[in-house]
């Protein structure tokens, strides 16, 4: 669903062949002193999952990728990064292709993940208790792609496990938190409470219409009345990590100009000329813009950031004039 988050560098690949010697000399002071087999010796691939794990364990969990100054889409794993993952007794990961170049060096039984690991089938035990995909995107299509060699979407996903920005699915965050608590002896009750509150807010929102320059909010709106009108061809292009064509951008610009959208979602950490044009068109139209980033600001915890995003959407929705799909004409999707 997004550009491959990690491109393994030559140095990192070479590191995998050095074995225990490299691991022994690459330990980092941010990791716990516990031995690798100790589940409490924990690390996360991104600051999002580190914050979730920290809330459960009550201690600071280190992350490989953190801060908005780093573009997760172009991040290259280093030998030191991979050594930290290999040394950890528990690795908290996103799953899918998003952070595969990090977690694949870990023993699978040490990995806690929100969506199936790259190469796993979708009958995996993770994340099958989410709501049906009703209004996340109203195109009723299936898909037949796998996770072994990256996404190749030909139709709109109908399985939440294909949405790699999965940390914005409250139910998935709860699953990860509960798994961390079970493995480390922590307490997930506060994370569960906060995610339940977010879910309640999202489910109470009326039927409003949005579009996204990149489908980062798809897991958040899954199963809610927040209706994604992003043009299908544009959406498929972004899902397949490609640049949208002039025609696809033009169709999106027409949607913005129509005045039927209630807000536009922009991923500020994943931009190009097309997304900039769309954002400028929305600003010209005075269309509310919700910026959602891959990682929270350095000085903000992910759970706080998630609540802030939902509160911002709530404010926009409260001021919107909800319309039925029948009132949207050709843009209904």
The whole-number pLDDT of residue 177 equals 99
- Higher pLDDT among residues 142 and 212, named by residue: 212
The ranges of the chain annotated as CATH 3.40.50.1980 are 10-126+163-186, 193-331
Digit-coded pLDDT (tens) for 4-42: 333 334 344 344 333 333 333 334 444 445 555 799 999
Is 125:178 a contact under the CB 8 Å cutoff?
no
Mean pLDDT of 301-323: 96
* Distance in angstroms (rounded) separating the CA atoms of residues 163 and 151: 11
Q: Which one-letter DSSP state was computed for residue 108? A: G
Q: Specify the CATH number of the domain 10-126+163-186.
A: 3.40.50.1980
Query: What would the mean pLDDT of 153-164 be, rounded to a whole number?
Result: 87
Q: Look at residue 327 and tell me whether its pLDDT is greater than 90.
A: no
pLDDT at 143 over 90: no
Share above pLDDT 70 across residues of the chain, in percent, rounded to a whole number: 77
- Identify which of 93, 55, 109 has the alpha carbon closest to the alpha carbon of residue 304: 55
Q: Given 1.10.1040.10, 3.30.980.10, 3.40.50.1100, 3.40.50.1980, which CATH number is that of 193-331?
A: 3.40.50.1980
Alpha carbon of 59 to those of 23, 202, 296: distances in Å? 24, 30, 19
Kindly report, residue by residue over 60-91, the tens digit of the pLDDT. Answer: 999 999 887 776 666 789 999 999 999 999 99
- Token digits for 247? 């025609």
Measured distance CA(45)–CA(37) in Å, rounded? 18
Q: pLDDT at position 74, please? A: 67
Judged against a pLDDT cut of 80, whether residue 121 lies above it is answered with no
The arithmetic mean of pLDDT across residues 255-278, rounded, is 94
pLDDT of residue 141: 35
């Amino acid at each position: 669903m997004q550009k491959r988050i990690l491109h393994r560098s030559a140095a990192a690949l070479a590191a995998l062949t050095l074995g225990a010697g490299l691991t022994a000399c690459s330990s980092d002071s941010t990791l716990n002193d516990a031995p690798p087999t100790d589940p409490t010796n924990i690390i996360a691939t991104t600051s999002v999952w580190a914050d979730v794990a920290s809330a459960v364990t009550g201690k600071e969990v280190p992350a490989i990728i953190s801060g908005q100054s780093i573009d997760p889409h172009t991040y290259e794993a280093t030998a030191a990064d991979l050594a930290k993952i290999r040394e950890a007794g528990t690795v908290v990961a996103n799953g899918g292709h998003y952070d595969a170049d990090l977690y694949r060096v870990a023993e699978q039984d040490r990995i806690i993940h929100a969506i199936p690991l790259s190469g796993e089938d979708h009958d995996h035990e993770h994340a099958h208790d989410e709501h049906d995909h009703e209004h996340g995107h109203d195109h009723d299509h299936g898909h037949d792609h796998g996770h072994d060699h990256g996404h190749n979407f030909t139709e709109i996903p109908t399985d939440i496990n294909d949405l790699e920005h999965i940390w914005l699915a409250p139910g998935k965050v709860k699953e990860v938190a509960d798994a961390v608590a079970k493995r480390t002896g922590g307490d997930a009750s506060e994370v569960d409470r906060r995610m339940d509150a977010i879910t309640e807010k999202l489910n109470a929102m009326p039927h409003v219409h949005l579009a996204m320059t990149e489908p980062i909010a798809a897991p958040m709106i899954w199963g809610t009345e927040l209706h994604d009108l992003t043009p299908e061809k544009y959406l498929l292009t972004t899902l397949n990590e490609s640049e949208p064509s002039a025609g696809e951008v033009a169709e999106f610009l027409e949607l913005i100009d129509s005045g039927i959208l209630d807000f536009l979602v922009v991923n500020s950490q994943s931009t190009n000329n097309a997304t900039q044009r769309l954002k400028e068109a929305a600003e010209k139209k005075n269309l509310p813009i919700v910026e959602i980033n891959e990682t929270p600001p350095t000085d903000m915890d992910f759970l706080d950031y998630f609540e802030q995003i939902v509160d911002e959407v709530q404010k926009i929705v409260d001021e919107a004039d909800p319309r039925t799909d029948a009132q949207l004409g050709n843009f209904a999707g």
